[in-house]
Structure 1
Amino acid sequence: MAYSSAFEQWKSTLSRIFVPISIGPLGPGEFRGSVTDVEFDRFGMSVVMSSPQRVWRTPRQIARPGKEYLVALVPTAGGCLFEQRGRVAIAVPGSITFCDTSRPFTCRSERWSESVIVRAPLAQILDGTGLSGTELPTAIAVPGDGAVGVVTRFFADLAELHTADIDLAIGMAEHGAGLLNSAVLLAADQYGTRHTVDI
């Protein structure tokens, strides 16, 4: 398969799993990428591995009909520079970074990277946390220590388990949606994106 055709197939695959996005390779050499995906109750999870690339989502793509997601990026190797809403996060292994697909974003990885990517319907996250869209702690690389780190390790472990024992993974995943909500709230409080009203 020609290089351009292979890369177009890569973009099409990721756009089908997540949301319509644009992708461009970074640097010379052969591009390589792989993705495995699984759907659990109330959230989906993918393991994405790729050569250096730039991924972005435009207002035009957002305007198309379709479901929007809150995405949690958990790098396990490499990492990326993630930008959204004027914030810039350096996502590294052990951290977790949130993305709102209803808003433009750019993600740039300069080397081979591997990540666990968790997605849940945006409306579900907003309902479950009580946050507004502007309060979501997006484009902040939350370190893997403390309470949020428990959630980060949960999803990294779940990604490994689902390839070894899918039945056990399904049972473990029952806690996933609630833990994702908790991580979003903890990060919003920790980094001050949650609005408070004095009474």
Structure 2
Amino acid sequence: MNIKNLILKNKRIAICLVVALGFGIAGGASNMPQADYNNLVVQKEQLDDKIIALDKQLEENKSKVDELQAKKDEAERIAKAEAERKAKEEAKAKAEAEAKAEAERLAKEEADRLAREEAERFAQAEQNSNYYVSSGSNGGSVQEEAPIGTMVWLSATGEKYHSRNNCGRMNPSKARQVTLESARSQGFEACSKCY
């Protein structure tokens, strides 16, 4: 902006000189010799040319300033758009990473749950098989007390309860599951193959 101020300052000086020259010419034209008058006219024309040149340079400088400002604004707009794009990409990547971590966590929880259920089923089956003990003296089977909630299988036609739904010739699709206490209260006896 120093150039602009310099040009404006010179323009004011030039205008002042032209005005002073004009007053000098008007006031002292009759007293001034022709050579001095011609010299002043030449100086006035030179100053007018300088003023025109300075005006032209001022316009060019304004044009350059406007062009540079437009380039600066465009660069700022591009930088802002790039920053927004990067922020969106980072947010998307973060969201994807969080979703992936959540999916992995849920998959792990599901796998843990299934493993626990399988272990519980295995433990229940193991526990069911350990509730009953055979008596070796009279060849008959003697049963230990099982927990009230133990489940057994009943066939559609048989008189015995089973620990599995496919014991012997039992039809698994027609077997039904009841509690051990219910089977005993209905008069069913333990299967010698299962227990």
TM interval, short-chain normalised: under 0.3
Point out the structure with the larger strand share: 1
Which one has more relative contact order, counting CA pairs under 8 Å at least 6 apart?
A: 1
